[in-house]
Amino acid sequence: MTTSNLHMYVMAAPLICALFVNLLGRRSRTYIAPLTLGSLLFSSVTACFVLANALKNGRMSYTVGNWSPPYGIELIIDPLAALMLLLISVVALLATCAALPTVQREHAGKEHLFFTLYLILIAGLMGLVMTGDAFNLYVLLEITSITTYGLIAMGKGRAVLSSFNYIIMGSIGACFYLLGIGYIYILTGTLNMADIATRLPLVQGDAAVATAFAFLIVGLFIKMAFFPLHGWLPHAYSDAPMGAGVMIAPLMTKVTIYLMFRVIFSIFSPDYAFYQHAIIQNLIIWAAAISIIAASLMALAQRDLRRMLTYIIIAEVGYMVGGIWLANTQGLTGALLHIVNDALMTLCLFLAAATILYRIGSLHFDDLKGLYQRMPLTMLAFTIGAFSMIGVPPTAGFFSKWYLILGGIEAGHWEYVAALIFSSLINAILFFRLIEIAYFGNGDHGHGHKQTLPPTGSAPWYMQGSLLVTAVTLIIIGLGSGQLVQGVIKLALPAGF
């Protein structure tokens, strides 16, 4: 095991275990938990080494199968990719602790199928952050999407419909991305991102390049549920089985935003994306501001914890897209820091939701009364996650929001700054309303909301343990965000920022 291909082990561990989970899990479900947790623990530890290596040696390129780039597929391990690898494996590991008991209850007998898809999805996400080949990115994007369709369709109620809706929307997004790649391939004759970046400035044909750029970006906008194209997300994420939602919700949109960052900076140049089309840049920041406000207002209308969280995810997508398109150091730093923070915040809130669902069998606001007495530790972690979402120091959410606001002021985009502050206020209302219900309400369900709740029981220790670990991580990342920005994110910013 040499250090130059450690990152391959990070990705291979969940992929290979997916096979064994399917084969052995069929026989007895006792194999599933050790295999899944073991592979993800291995990935997390290895990802730590990959990050340490990347910070020490800088950007590294790895050629798969000894076909040298630009013909072969190139993997690029820079500090940001290594950070994303670590983030994905740690979030997946923590989410799995909650997914195991939830899936065991909701899908008894189908656990091996669930975790096969689950692990392939994680491997696909890891591949996405490493790849340096534009077409390979499309294939991995579809691997993650297909597994997500399957996982969502395993849910109850109208989950199959949501899954179908997501299939249609997701395919349009992926096809747009593929079309963009087609245009770029016809223009430059190459698929390697670095090679495209060197050839693209020499290409004649402004309209064709602009079309390619538009197709790529709109395709990714659909995949990340950026505001006017967000229609599929709330249903898909709230109807998905809780065990899948707890992993998909923190990771999918964040990885897609990272991909947008990659497309802008590795394929095109900041000069092309931001300065040559200033109108488009302004439009996107306006769309981000509207997205933040609209999604926050829609979150306010929900009476179910999980649906409320899905609208908050859409608002957060607006934060990060806007932050990247601000095109200044503060905005980019804030957006990249927010990818990390938001993944952990969403994970924290979804883990809390999973634990509550496991214990009381419902996430409707009327059923959450008196939760602080019944589940003090869970609600403590939930409160930390909520504070981070609102942006209360010293939780992580405050610092990235601070950078984003500074970036907005520096760029003079006051509408974006106003949207950020407005969204913080709405988040405060959302979560304090919820905290009030859970703190002051007495435990009886006498408000007409009576339905047969599924069987319940106290959550296993590792479910609450992973939730508490996530909450503590939020505070640690918050306090250490200075080091994170200086040590990793500053290195990841492209030249000129």
Contacts of 111 by beta carbon, 8 Å cutoff, 6+ apart: 25, 29, 32, 103, 104
Q: Least distance (Å) from another protein to the CB of residue 267?
A: 16
Q: Least distance (Å) from another protein to the CB of residue 141?
A: 9
The answer to whether residue 178 forms part of the interface with another protein (CB under 8 A) is yes
Which listed range, 49-57, 105-113, 123-131, 140-148, lies at the site for another protein (CB under 8 A)? Answer: 140-148
By CB under 8 A, name the one of 24, 37, 55, 139 that touches another protein.
139
Given the complex with another protein, which of 18 and 312 has the nearer CB atom?
18
User: How many beta carbons lie within 10 A of that of residue 52, not counting itself?
Assistant: 14
The answer to whether residue 33 forms part of the interface with another protein (CB under 8 A) is no
The answer to whether residue 199 forms part of the interface with another protein (CB under 8 A) is no
The answer to whether residue 116 forms part of the interface with another protein (CB under 8 A) is no
Cα–Cα dist 361/479, whole Å: 35
Q: Least distance (Å) from another protein to the CB of residue 149?
A: 5
The answer to whether residue 160 forms part of the interface with another protein (CB under 8 A) is yes
By CB under 8 A, name the one of 40, 85, 153, 368 that touches another protein.
153
The answer to whether 488 and 58 are in contact (CB under 8 A) is: no
Given the complex with another protein, which of 5 and 171 has the nearer CB atom?
171
Q: Least distance (Å) from another protein to the CB of residue 158?
A: 6
Q: Least distance (Å) from another protein to the CB of residue 360?
A: 25
CA angle at 166 for the pair 160 and 171, rounded to the nearest 5°: 130
The answer to whether residue 453 forms part of the interface with another protein (CB under 8 A) is no
User: How many beta carbons lie within 10 A of that of residue 394, not counting itself?
Assistant: 15
Given the complex with another protein, which of 41 and 172 has the nearer CB atom?
172
The answer to whether residue 175 forms part of the interface with another protein (CB under 8 A) is yes
Conformation bin of residue 493: beta by default, left when phi > 0, alpha when psi is -120 to 50: beta
Nearest residue to 338 (alpha-carbon basis) of 144, 484, 145: 484
Which listed range, 77-85, 144-152, 223-231, 359-367, lies at the site for another protein (CB under 8 A)? Answer: 144-152
By CB under 8 A, name the one of 23, 161, 283, 472 that touches another protein.
161
The answer to whether residue 142 forms part of the interface with another protein (CB under 8 A) is yes
Given the complex with another protein, which of 91 and 193 has the nearer CB atom?
193
Q: Least distance (Å) from another protein to the CB of residue 179?
A: 6
Given the complex with another protein, which of 60 and 175 has the nearer CB atom?
175
Given the complex with another protein, which of 128 and 191 has the nearer CB atom?
191
Q: Least distance (Å) from another protein to the CB of residue 189?
A: 9
The answer to whether residue 421 forms part of the interface with another protein (CB under 8 A) is no
The answer to whether residue 140 forms part of the interface with another protein (CB under 8 A) is no
By CB under 8 A, name the one of 19, 186, 425, 472 that touches another protein.
186
The answer to whether residue 216 forms part of the interface with another protein (CB under 8 A) is no
Which listed range, 159-167, 192-200, 268-276, 443-451, lies at the site for another protein (CB under 8 A)? Answer: 159-167
Contacts of 269 by beta carbon, 8 Å cutoff, 6+ apart: 197, 200, 201
Q: Least distance (Å) from another protein to the CB of residue 135?
A: 6
The answer to whether residue 179 forms part of the interface with another protein (CB under 8 A) is yes
Which listed range, 58-66, 181-189, 350-358, 403-411, lies at the site for another protein (CB under 8 A)? Answer: 181-189
The answer to whether residue 171 forms part of the interface with another protein (CB under 8 A) is yes
The answer to whether residue 23 forms part of the interface with another protein (CB under 8 A) is no
Which listed range, 96-104, 175-183, 346-354, 418-426, lies at the site for another protein (CB under 8 A)? Answer: 175-183
Cα–Cα dist 341/354, whole Å: 20
The answer to whether residue 63 forms part of the interface with another protein (CB under 8 A) is no
The answer to whether residue 492 forms part of the interface with another protein (CB under 8 A) is no
186's tokens:
């016809």
By CB under 8 A, name the one of 158, 447, 449, 450 that touches another protein.
158
372-380, Cβ contacts within 8 angstroms, sequence gap of 24 or more:
372/438, 372/439, 373/443, 374/443, 377/464, 377/467, 377/468, 378/352, 378/459, 378/464, 378/467, 379/352, 379/438, 380/471
Cα–Cα dist 117/244, whole Å: 10
Nearest residue to 389 (alpha-carbon basis) of 294, 280, 299, 265: 299
Which listed range, 166-174, 261-269, 356-364, 439-447, lies at the site for another protein (CB under 8 A)? Answer: 166-174
Q: Least distance (Å) from another protein to the CB of residue 56?
A: 36
Which stretches of the chain bind another protein, using CB under 8 A?
A: 135, 138-139, 142, 145-146, 149-150, 153, 158, 160-161, 163-164, 167-168, 171-172, 174-175, 178-179, 182, 185-186, 191
